[in-house]
Homo-oligomer: A and B are copies of this chain.
Amino acid sequence: MYAVRLPFAQTSGLCDNRFMLLKRWLVGDPLKTAQARHERLSKTIALAIFSSNAISSVAYATEEILLVLILAGAAAVAWSIPVSLAILFLVLVLTISYRQIIYEYPEGGGAYTVAKSNLGELPALVAAGALMIDYVLTVAVSVAAGVAALTSAIPSLFIHREAVGLVAILFMVLMNLRGVRESGKFFAVPTYFAIGALSLLVIVGIAKSLLRGDAMAPPTNPAGASADLENLTLFLILRSFAAGCSAVTGMEVISNGVKAFRHPESKNAATTMIWMSVILASLFMGISWMAYHSGILPKADETLVSQLARLTFDTGAIYYTVQISTMVLLVLAANSAFAGFPHLASILARDGFMPHQMATFGDRLVFSNGIIILGFFACLLLVVFQGNTHALIPLYAIGVFVSFTLSQAGMVKRWLAKKGVHWRKKLIVNGVGAVTTGIATVIIASTKFLHGAWIVFLLVAVLILMFQGIRSHYRAVSEQIALDRRGERPPLPRRNIVIIPISGLNRAVVRAVDYARSRPGEVRAIYVDLDPEESAKVKIQWAQWGGGINLIARPSPYRSVLGSLLEYIEEILEKEPNTWVTVVIPEILPARWWQNILHNQRALMLKAALLFKDRVIIIDVPFHLTR
């Protein structure tokens, strides 16, 4: 059974079996359409895939809050608890309001879909642009934070953090090209292991802290600065809230992927959403509480979680377990983006806002093109920001909150229009969601604007222009290639003159001659006469090898073979307005690609010259060299 169906570059012809074997080994066997139904996820697997994004942010969210607050001195760190509580409120609001979206959009209720069906095209494109950027940032931030967890435990890897991050992204791209269920299984075990390890850290840490009785102890200040609150402004508190909002990124992931759940999809997804929120909230609050009560502050070369784990377990086996599993969780978090990004791109492609090929299924039932593009841009971001989590955070969250707000606002409009059972209650839930996330969006945008959020706004605008440009191009093409409604065939040439330009005789030319002879009709060979002696030789050879085809010799006053050929073709086109001219070019295909520079220059020029002539069709008849 022939089974080549590469999603990207169809390279089977180039290196055939060796390549296919490698590909099989890397991404697995192709699956039949009938298998697609079985690719659905159980709640346990789905929780691992869809919640690693949200939960993993506990690894850095508290640290980001503290990093802003300590700008106002060590005493300001006390504000981390009220800020964390505000974020806890956000988690609550988002959980309740997203459950409503899950039930209302069982086909997958991404911000783009909800905004498009309720608010119109432009808000939908804003949401799509914001989400796309955030998917890329999710991968970059999660991988950077994962690498930071690793280098906290193994400081000698610190200088290699960029390379480690790039390898991690590449690994995920390959895993995702293997298809959704296998990567689900692959990722579920370590995700649960990491949740367990972090829970252990929080439980043991809080217990030890309470036993030590260091509750409410004012945090020590390692830098020795005086502990006053003079520098603490409202702006700084809001900025620390904005930084902490990175904790709730990823909460929307389940609502995008309802279709991936087993039946009943919406109910399973809603249940999974609650599990995820409970785990996220507990771990986040636990870590914030521990950081405050132990008086630990962020350090440049070690993460906050690493410091807490060292304090709780000392630097032993349990400490390393926590660090490594945190790292694995963060790297896996990026995986949710690898499910979401290609899905969004394919929805956009189906609406004509992205290139059509983004909508194509790959051979593992996944959207291969989107996976590879996401991997590429995440790598780019990681390199540009040198693998630094803190540098990436100001760009993060803003896109997610824009899409949160648009989703909730869309739901509000939906209830107002649609009404239905309990619509007032539902309206209030999504209304609170819209207002809350709206306020958070304004806070994030205003406090982070100069720290990098402006880049996101600029990119969203660029993406919207791109979406619209692509669609208007596709529309223009559709109009141009549409068939005549009255069924009138455009007047097309009925005759077809085949021309073989030759400059001498060899096996490649003979092959082209035999190809041209394989169909009946008018065939002519053209020889450009530069040198009478050479010309006579060619004519004698042609008598033997030309297969009875008429050889026309053309003079060339300008020593230009190309010019004379073009002249001849032009003459035919002019004389016979009802004729196709088919140019059969014998082409030598070298065994190695770089040898091309030594061949076919003339053929290339001829093709370039003929490319825009409407009735000229070019046929390459390749002759394969073996060495």
Residues of A within 8 A of B (CB): 2-6, 9-14, 16, 30-34, 355-357, 361, 363, 470, 473-474, 476-477, 480-483, 487, 489-490, 492-496, 498, 505-508, 510-511, 514-515, 518-521, 541, 544-545, 557-560, 562-563, 566-567, 570, 580, 582, 588, 590, 595, 597-599, 601-602, 604-606, 608-614, 617-627
Neighbour of A520 across the interface among B473, B489, B521, B620, CB < 8 A = B521
- The answer to whether B609 and A560 have CB atoms under 8 Å apart is no
Closest Cβ neighbor of A625 among chain B residues: B480
Q: Is the CB of B487 within 8 A of A544?
A: yes
Chain B residues closer than 8 Å to A492, beta-carbon distance:
510-511, 514-515
Contact (A480, B620) CB under 8 Å given A5-B558, A356-B598, A580-B518: no
Q: Which residue of B lies closest to A610 (CB)?
A: B13
7 residue pairs from A and B, CB less than 8 Å apart:
A2-B570, A11-B608, A12-B566, A355-B598, A493-B518, A518-B580, A617-B621
List residues of chain B with CB within 8 A of the CB of A610. Answer: 13
Find chain B residues with CB under 8 A from A515 CB.
492, 496, 580, 617
Inter-chain contact B489/A510, CB cutoff 8 Å: yes
Q: In the assembly, what is the distance between CA of A12 and CA of B609, in Å?
A: 6
A246–B434 alpha-carbon span in the complex (Å): 79
| Given A480-B507, A618-B619, 13 new contacts (CB under 8 A) | A5-B563, A6-B605, A13-B613, A14-B608, A30-B560, A32-B557, A33-B558, A33-B559, A355-B597, A477-B588, A481-B625, A487-B545, A492-B510
Residue of B nearest to A556 (CB): B33
Across the interface, do A507 and B490 meet the contact criterion of CB distance under 8 Å?
Answer: yes
Q: Across the interface, name the chain B residue whose C-beta is closest to A361.
A: B559
Could you tell me the distance between the alpha carbons of A490 and B623 in the complex, rounded to whole angstroms?
13
The CA-CA distance from A620 to B617 in the complex, in Å, is: 7
- Of all chain B residues, which has the CB nearest A619? B619
Interface centre among A498, A519, A612, A621 (most CB of B within 10 A): A519
Residues of chain B contacted by A604 (CB below 8 angstroms) = 10
C-alpha spacing A140/B604, complex, angstroms: 32
Task: Given A356-B598, A620-B618, A625-B480, verify A558-B3 contact (CB < 8 Å).
Answer: yes
Which residues of chain B are within 8 angstroms of A363 by Cβ–Cβ distance? 558, 560
Residues of chain B with a CB closer than 8 A to A11's CB: 608
**Contact call B521/A606, Cβ cutoff below 8 A:** no
Bound together, the chains give a CA A510 to CA B608 distance in angstroms of 24
How distant is A298 from chain B, measured CB to nearest CB, in Å?
44
- Please state if B495 and A482 are interface contacts (CB–CB under 8 Å): no
Whole-angstrom CA separation of A77 from B249 in the bound complex: 76
A278 to B: closest C-beta gap in Å: 39
- Specify which of B2, B508, B599, B602 is in contact with A563 (CB 8 Å cutoff): B2
Q: Is the CB of A626 within 8 A of B480?
A: yes
Distance from A554 Cβ to chain B, minimum over Cβ atoms (Å): 12
Cβ–Cβ < 8 Å partners of A582 in chain B: 619
Complex CA gap A357/B561 in Å reads 12
Please determine whether B490 and A518 come into contact, CB atoms closer than 8 angstroms.
no
Residues of B near A481 (CB, < 8 A) are 506-508, 588, 623, 625
B33 and A601 contact, CB distance less than 8 A: no
Rounded to whole angstroms, the CA-CA distance of A6 and B588 in the bound complex is: 22
Docked Cα-Cα span, A430 to B361, in Å, equals 76
Question: Which residues of the partner chain B approach A470 to less than 8 Å between Cβ atoms?
Answer: 598
Residue of B whose beta carbon sits closest to that of A606: B10
Q: Which residue of B lies closest to A615 (CB)?
A: B515
Which residues from B are CB-within-8-Å of A505? 483
Q: B627 contacts A476, CB within 8 Å?
A: yes
Which residue in B361, B482, B518, B621 is a CB contact (below 8 Å) of A494?
B518
